[in-house]
Amino acid sequence: MPLRRHHLLALTLLSLAACGQPAAEAPPPSAEAAATAPASPPTAPTSPAPVPQAVAITNEAPEAFRGEWNADPAACGGGGNDTRLVIDARRMQFYEGRAEILAVTPAGPDEAIFQMRLSSEGETADVAYRFRLSPDGGTLTDVGNGGLVRRRCPR
């Protein structure tokens, strides 16, 4: 038993002695470890970030979107084609429904998102449509509705 106590005392003294010693310096990382180390976080910019320009929201359809549109140009002027769409300043007329334009948000140079209150077949719902004009203004693509392309009807 006394031998065991001496071993225990020696281990305790060695442990206490090690606590008072400065830690050994770690070796420098290898080139491979340095290459895979995560990048340091970016530093704060010296000047404030530019404030994004405000998006102009209106409740009127832009002039370029106004008019009669139809997938079949031969059906222009009549109400019988289910792709007919008439866009006025504050309203849209679909084949079997009407919509009041609540807000129009630009979504690109020739693109806009129309928030509308649609009334059709006795029901009313708030909906959004995203339309894109061709560069020449001759076609209107319903981006969110399977890409339906309508052509501008003659005025």
pTM over 0.75: no
Place of tokens 């019988």: 80
What Rg value do the Cα atoms of the chain yield, rounded?
35
pLDDT tens readout for residues 94-132: 988 999 999 999 998 899 999 999 999 999 999 999 999
For the CA atoms of 91, 64, 126, 145, the dihedral, rounded to the nearest 10 degrees, stands at: 120
What are the tens digits of pLDDT across the range 12-34? 333 333 444 444 454 555 544 44
The token duo for 154 is 């003659």
Q: Minimal CA–CA distance to 154: which of 72, 76, 79? A: 76
Of all residues in the chain, what percent are helix, strand and coil, respectively (each to 5)? 20, 35, 45
pLDDT for residue 9 is more than 80: no
Q: Please tell me the distance from the alpha carbon of residue 119 to that of residue 75, in angstroms, as a whole number.
A: 23
Q: Are 9 and 16 in contact (CB under 8 A)?
A: no
Identify which has the larger pLDDT, 126 or 3: 126
Nearest to 149 by CA among 63, 61, 73: 73
pLDDT for the residue 18: 41
